Amino acid sequence: MNTHSIIIWNPTTLESESNNIQPEVDTEELRLILTTKMIFRRLLSTSLRNFNAQTTAYVSAPSNSVFVRKKTAGRFRGSILGFFLGTTVAGIAGYSFLIQEYRSASEILMSSRSTIKISAYLKRIDELEKQVRRLNKDGVLQEDVESLREEMKNIYNGLQIEHLELKTQVNEMDKDLAILIKDARTKL
């Protein structure tokens, strides 16, 4: 598609329509402004070859000339580039604002008394958790207590049986001694 737009630039006919007053911009400044404007447009929309050709046409053209400029298909490329550039800048600005707000909120929160109390409570909770872990590690389970209780019952029963055996032996010895004492009295 070869559509052309015509730009007519004549620095001698730059007059205001209402007052016929000559603007205060001289031709060199105007040429520089138009050249830089064209440079920025061309950087975003076309290739370097077309850019160099257009720039040299503007700079080296005589003051009363007609320029023919092609409408390029680089608008889509420029709009995509502009979109991504704008999105990136907005994202960076938003992220930096978010970080700044986060820091200020953290400083306010850390300086409040309730935060100090909460951190003291957290330290106490940590200490209690350590003690509970140590007690679980050093403590005895219910099953261990039951097994020890059974062992103690067995030991106690064994001691009771031995005590009864000894008691019967002492009673037998007491009876034997009583019989011996009776016999000794009767012989005397």
Cβ(82)–Cβ(97) below 8 Å:
no
Question: Averaged over 27-38, what is the pLDDT?
Answer: 75
pLDDT at position 80 is 87
Distance in angstroms (rounded) separating the CA atoms of residues 143 and 157: 21
Residue with more model confidence, 95 or 25 = 95
Q: Which helix H or strand E contains 9, and what residues bound it?
A: strand 4-9
Question: Distance between CA atoms of 121 and 131, rounded to whole angstroms?
Answer: 15
- The answer to whether the beta carbons of residues 66 and 56 sit under 8 Å apart is no
**Would you kindly state where each structural domain of the chain is located, as residue ranges?**
4-73, 74-139, 146-188
pLDDT of residue 7: 47
pTM of the model: 0.30
Q: Are 59 and 35 within 8 A, CB to CB? A: yes
Which tens digits make up the pLDDT trace of 39-97? 766 666 655 455 455 555 444 545 555 555 666 666 777 788 889 999 999 999 999 99
Query: For residues 68 and 38, which has the higher predicted lDDT (pLDDT)?
Result: 38
Please give the Cα distance from 178 to 169 (Å, whole number). 14
